[in-house]
Amino acid sequence: MMNRVLITGGTGFVGQYLTKCLISNGYRVSILSRGIRENTKDVSYFLWDVENKLIDKTCLQKVQTIIHLSGENVAESKWTKDRKGKILQSRVQSTELLYDLLSKESHNVKSFISASATGIYGSQTTRNIYQEKDALGTDFLAKVCTEWESVVFEMNSIGIRTVALRTGIVLAENHGALAKMMLPFKLGLGSALGSGKQYMPWIHIDDLCKMYLFALENSDISGAYNAVVGDDLNNEELSKALAKVLKRPFFMPKVPQSILKLIFGEMAVILTKGSRVSSEKIKNEGFEFSFPEVNMALQNLLNTSA
Q: What local confidence, expressed as pLDDT, does residue 7 receive?
A: 98
Angle, helix 235-246 to helix 176-186, in steps of 10 degrees: 60
Q: In this structure, is residue 213 part of a structural domain?
A: yes
Report which residue type is found at 240. Answer: K
pLDDT at 49 over 80: yes
The answer to whether residue 241 sits within a structural domain is: no
Query: What pLDDT is recorded for position 170?
Result: 95
**pLDDT band, residue 306 (cuts 50/70/90):** very low
Mean pLDDT of 267-274: 83
Residue/partner pairs of 98-107 with CB below 8 Å, 24 or more apart: 98/8, 98/55, 98/66, 98/68, 99/151, 99/154, 99/155, 99/158, 100/53, 101/55, 101/57, 101/60, 102/60, 102/155, 102/158, 102/160, 103/158, 105/57, 105/60, 107/60, 107/63
As a whole number, mean pLDDT of residues 80-91 equals 94
**Is 257 within a domain?**
no
How confident is the model over 44-60, as a mean pLDDT? 95
> What's the rounded mean pLDDT across residues 61-69?
97
Model pLDDT, residue 77: 85
2 pLDDT more than 70: no
* pLDDT of amino acid 266: 83
**Using CA atoms, how far apart are residues 88 and 102, in angstroms rounded to an integer?**
22
Provide the percentage of residues in the chain whose pLDDT is more than 70. Answer: 98
Give the confidence band of 269 by pLDDT, cuts at 50, 70, 90.
confident
Residue 186: pLDDT band (50, 70, 90) is confident
Q: What percent of the chain has pLDDT over 90?
A: 71
Does any domain span residue 251? no
254 occurs within a structural domain: no
Arithmetic mean of pLDDT, 284-293: 97
Pick the range with the lowest mean pLDDT from 168-177, 256-265, 286-295: 256-265
How many CB atoms are located within 10 Å of the residue 150 CB? 11
Instruction: Check residues 177 and 198 and name the one with the higher pLDDT.
Output: 198
The pLDDT of 53-82, averaged and rounded, is 93
Q: How confident is the model at residue 171 (pLDDT cuts 50, 70, 90)?
A: very high
Q: Is the pLDDT of residue 41 over 60?
A: yes
Q: For residue 243, is it within any domain?
A: no
- Over residues 130-155, mean pLDDT: 96
Q: Are 25 and 214 in contact (CB under 8 A)?
A: no
* Neighbouring residues of 83: CB distance < 8 A, sequence distance ≥ 6: 72, 77
pLDDT at 305 > cutoff 60: no
Distance CA 61, CA 172 (A): 32
Residue 180: half-sphere exposure toward Cβ, Cα within 13 Å? 8
Query: Is residue 11 pLDDT above 50, yes or no?
Result: yes
Whether the pLDDT of residue 304 is over 70: the answer is no
- Mean pLDDT for 50-58 is 95
- pLDDT, position 1: 43
255, part of any domain: no
**The model's pTM:** 0.94
227 domain-assigned: yes
What beta strand segments (E) does 69-184 contain?
111-117, 129-130, 161-167, 169-171
Strand segments, DSSP code E, in the chain are 4-8, 28-33, 43-49, 54-55, 63-68, 111-117, 129-130, 161-167, 169-171, 202-204, 223-227, 276-277
Structural domains counted in the chain: 1
The average pLDDT across 25-51 equals 93
So what's the pLDDT on residue 187? Answer: 77
Q: Which domain holds residue 36?
A: 4-236+262-302
Taking all residues of the chain, what is their mean pLDDT, rounded to a whole number? 92
* pLDDT of 185 strictly over 50: yes
Inter-helix orientation angle 13-24/205-217, to 10°: 60
Looking at residue 150, which CATH number applies to its domain? 3.40.50.720
